[in-house]
Structure 1
C-alpha cells in the first residue's frame, strides 16, 4: 500500500541573490542550480524519504524538462509510472530567487496546452492507496482524486495554497485541509489567520490547519483553536518547506498519529529541510526526524 500525491511537478531554476528585488533593474546572482519542484511532487519526495511507498501523479509534456523531472523523482524512489504525458505541451517550470535570509520569490509558468482534463485518471485504481494528497494546481484532477478518496473511505490531505482557480469544492471534499497563510487569506478574504481558519471551518467537514512560517501551525480540533510552535533552526532556504510539511502530514495521517503529534512531526520535517538549499536536498530521513524529536 502506498500514498498517492497528485498535482503539479515543475523544474525549479534557482538563483541566489543578496536581497529580493523590490524594483525593476539588473541584478547579479551568486549561485544557480536546477531542481525539481511543485507542491505535490516535492511532497511525494518527502513521503519517500520518510519511509513510505509513494506514487506521484501529474501532467507533463513530452520534452526534456519532463525527462529531467521524472528521472529525479525516480531517483528518490517515487513511482511515476502513471504520469500523464501530453503531446505538444511544455512541462511546467519556475524561476526562483532566494536571498541570503532564505526567503524566496517564485514565478511559475504552466503551458495552457497542458490539458487539465482528468479523464486519464479514470483508468487508475485509487482504492489501493492508504492516503491521497493533492495540491490545487490541477483542480480537475484533484477533485477527481478527492472524490475517489471519499468513495473508498481513504483519508485525504489538501495542500490549500494560492491558486488562480476557486478551490471551494476541493476544501469541501478533503478530510485534512492544510492552508498556507496566503492561501487561507485568498480563500476566506480574512487577513488574520486564526479568524480565517474559523471561517474556513464553516465551509468543510474536514479538519483545517494553517501554517504560519516560523510561528508554526494553527488548527481547529473539537471546535477549539490549537497551536504548535515551529522548530527553531538556522535557515538556509525555505523553498519547498510548505510542500514538505504537507508530505509529512500525509505520512502522519497514513500512520493515524494523534493531531498534535502529527503537527510536531510535520513541523520538524519542514524545519530540518530549511537548513539546506533547494526544495528537496534537505528533506530529512525518518531516522533523522526521530533523532530530532528525541532532543
Structure 2
C-alpha cells in the first residue's frame, strides 16, 4: 500500500520526573533522553516498518537537529521527496516532562514545520496513494495549513477518491478550538482522544460530542479513551473496544497515539473492520509505550498477530526496497 503522510518532524527532549516542577523550581529527572519524534515522522516510520511505501511531507531546518529528527525516517525507508528544507527556521523541538503517575507537560514550537510550502505539493502523488494521513497540527496555521487543505482537496477530488485519515492533537485543538471542526469533519476516518473530542465540539460528554459530530456529517470516528481502550463510532453503531495490555512495562507514552493512528490505517487498508482495526491499534499503542521515545519500539505484523490471536489483520506484502527520493529545497 502507498501512504502519503502530512505532519511534523521533531526532536523530542524527554524528562521523566518524580513530579512536575512548581514555578521557579529546579528538579532532577530520573531519566533524560533525546529522541526523534513528531506525529508525521512517527506515523510514517510505523507504516514503513509494517511494510508499506510511505511518502512524508514535512519541513525541517538546515541545522544539525534536522538529520537527527529524520534518522528513523531514513532508517525505515520512508521516501523523502516531499521533505522540504527551510534555510531560515530551525527544526522543531519538543520538551516533554512526564511522571510515572501520568502527569505531563510539554513545550513545543512548530518552527520549520509550519512553513511547509504548498508550492511543493505534487497532486499526482496524492492521487496515486492508497490513503492520506494527516495530523491536525498541520491544520493549525501558516503555509503548512494551506498545503494540507490542498492535499485534502486532491484526495477527495481524485478520479479514484483517496481515503483521508485525520488524527487530532491536544495542542492543535487547544490552539484552534471548535473552528477546527470544519477542516476535519469530512475525513473518512477521524481519530481523537476524549479531551480533544469534547474541546472540538464544545460539549461535556462523549455521547453528546459524538451526536454533534454525526449531525455535522462525520461518518467514522475513533475516540481513544486511554486505559479503557477506544470507541469506534458510525452513524449506525457505537462500540467500546477494550484495551490490550501486552507484556512489558509502560515507560513512555510519547508517540503512542501516533502509533495507534498508523496501525489503525494499516489494518483498515488490509481489510479489517473498524473494531478489528481499533483492537490492533490499541495493541500497537500499548507496545509503543514500552520503549522510551516515540519511534523506539518498532511495531511489526508479528507483534499484532502475537498480541491479537484470532483477530485477522493481514500483513501487506513487503514493499520493494525504494531508493531515497530527492529532497525538496522549497523555501
Question: Normalised by the size of structure 1, how large is the TM-score?
Answer: 0.92
Q: Secondary structure at the match of 2:70?
A: helix
Task: Report the Cα offset of residue 194 of structure 1.
Answer: 2.9
Of residues 208, 231, 238, the one that matches 1:195 is 208
CA RMSD of aligned residues (A): 2.1
Q: Do the aligned partners of residues 123 and 205 (structure 1) sit closer, same or farther apart at CA in structure 2, a change above 3 Å counting?
A: closer
- Tell me the distance in 2 between the aligned counterparts of 1:124 and 1:28: 50
Task: Work out whether residues 60 and 114 of structure 1, in 8 Å CA contact, stay in contact via their aligned partners in 2.
Answer: no
Structure 1 unaligned regions, length at least 5: none
**Secondary structure in 2 matching 1:29:** coil
- 2:78 matched to which residue of 1? 78
**Residues 196 and 77 (structure 1), Cα distance of their counterparts in 2 relative to 1, 3 Å cut:** same
Tell me the equivalent position of 1:227: 240
- Spell out the pairing of 1:48-197 with structure 2 (5 A cutoff): 48-101=48-101, 103-111=103-111, 114-122=114-122, 125-139=125-139, 140=145, 141-152=147-158, 153-162=161-170, 163=172, 164-165=175-176, 166-197=179-210
Q: CA deviation at 1:112?
A: 7.6
Q: Report the counterpart of residue 204 of structure 1 in structure 2.
A: 217
Select the residue among 252, 256, 260 that pairs with 1:237.
Answer: 252
Instruction: In structure 2, list runs of 5 or more residues that go unmatched.
Output: 140-144, 311-331
Q: 2: distance between equivalents of 1:245 and 1:114?
A: 24
**Cα distance change of structure 1 residues 291 and 113 upon mapping to structure 2, 3 Å threshold:** closer
Following the alignment from structure 2 to structure 1, what is the Cα–Cα distance between the partners of residues 114 and 78? Answer: 22
SS at match of 1:202: helix
Residue 160 of structure 1 and its aligned partner are, at CA, apart by 1.6
Per the alignment, residue 11 of structure 1 pairs with 11
Equivalent residue, structure 2, for 1:284: 299
Deviations 1:51-80 (A, max 9, x none): 222121112222212122123310122222
Distance 1:26-1:133 versus aligned 2 partners, 3 A rule: same
Tell me, in whole angstroms, the C-alpha distance in 2 between the residues paired with 1:21 and 1:191. Answer: 30
Separation (CA, whole Å) in 1 of partners of 2:98 and 2:128 = 39
Give how far 1:23 is off.
Answer: 4.6
Alignment partners' CA distance in 1, 2:24 and 2:154: 46
Q: Is the 8 A contact 1:7 1:135 kept in 2?
A: yes
Alignment length (residue pairs): 295
* TM-score, normalised with respect to structure 2: 0.83
* Residues 115-149 of structure 1, C-alpha deviations (whole Å, 9 max, x = no match): 25422214652122111100111212322222121
Mapped pair 1:35 → 2:30: no
Q: Which of 242, 247, 265 is residue 250 of structure 1 equivalent to?
A: 265
